[in-house]
Structure 1
Amino acid sequence: MASTNLEEIKKIIKTELPTILRTDPSFRRYILQITKLYYPPKKKTEDRIEQLYQQLLQMQEQSEKRWQEWSKRWDETQAEWNRKWEENQKTINEMLKRLDKIDRRHLYTIGALGARWGLYSEESFRNGLKAIIEDSFGVEVMRYVDYDEKGEVFGPPDQIELDLIIRNGVVIACEIKSSMSKADMYTLWRKKKFYEKKHQKKVDRVIAICPMVDPRAKPAAEKLGIELYTHSDEFIEKEEKNINEIA
């Protein structure tokens, strides 16, 4: 019976309490007084919330400050890396330039030595051949030098040089070079034509003596009637075959 009455009272309180709290200030204060032990006061709650809010702000400021420090440190490190990279690139470029200069200097030196050696070899062979032929066979060997004013040989006006071997009216034009190309064969042929035209004298034979010959020069020599003497015809034919295969 008592349990039933208690349940009815609870039911009535649940139903009527909201209205009573809105309409009866004294009763509302009474209820608040009774229940304040079960929750903190409003001011305390607000203070606690404010404290938590300030702590969050402080943590955010610290995080932003830390992030700015890290960002600054990263930028400084990146700038240092870029500076060192640029210095390394500059050093490497300077080294490459120096190596390029050294390489070109060596190439120029080797090229100059090769050209000088070729000229000296040509002159030595020419002098030796001249001495042998003139002294042993009574043949006249002369270095023909003239000036081509019309540019019939090289295009622009230039000096013409040609070795001539003469005996009993027979004229042999001879070219002694360390190396010859297809163009050199045509140049030799134009020298021969220049001599014939200017001196009204036929050249009976044209000879080219050369240790190194461009494989494409041999057909040109045959076409122009130039007798070619080199170290090995087999080598020329082999090089011709290689060039044709590449082409």
Structure 2
Amino acid sequence: MEAQTLEQIKDYIFDHLPMVLEKDPRFVVMIEGIVAEKFPRRDEFARMLDKVSRMVDDLHNLRISSEERFEQIDQRFEQVDQRFEQIDQRFEQVDHRFEQIDRRFEKVDQRFEQVDWRFEQMENKMEAGFHDVHVHIDRLGSRWGIRNEKIFRQMMKEVLEGSMGMTVRECVIGGEQFDCVIANGQHILIEIAASVKPNIHERLIRKRELYTEETGIVPSRFLLAVGSIHSKRAEALRADGFEVIEPEE
């Protein structure tokens, strides 16, 4: 069909169609059917619009719900951040406390070092003092045979208290004479004799037990200063914790 003929038909339809529709309703039904196939009817179009409107509302509600959820997530992240900040602050406090503890331990270590140094000085003084005692025993042994123990005790007391700042205490417990040197809180028992009897071992053990029971203090050292003693007897005493000072050969 040529284009000119098609245009003529269109013009004819537009000119005569209204009159045909008025005279014969069948054409109205036919045209409505043709239009319905190409385009939705009003009620269908209304349903489509209603469906689209509901979809738009659902999307809007979903957007609002998503925004609310994102806000909740943001709030939770903020809470988590705050908790981490609190944890960081607690760790900083713990670190600070450990630093304080370290400083205190350093001070304690320094004090222990000072105490160790003082003990070393005291031990050196005691060793020097006992060496002097040993020398005096040798001298007295060669001069008098250590017959006058009372004079020797007095001389030892003067040396230890006057020169070394120690305390010398004399007492009688259970019928036994005790000479005790107190230095830096330690009790040191000293037994002085020109010679000893065979029961010296049992006697010194008994004296140590008597002193502990009477005073409640265990002597840190027990020295026997003697002018003459058998070597085996001296070894047995040393093996039992006693210190034997005897003249050098």
Q: What TM-score, normalized to structure 2?
A: 0.41
Q: What TM-score, normalized to structure 1?
A: 0.41
User: Whose Rg is larger?
Assistant: 2
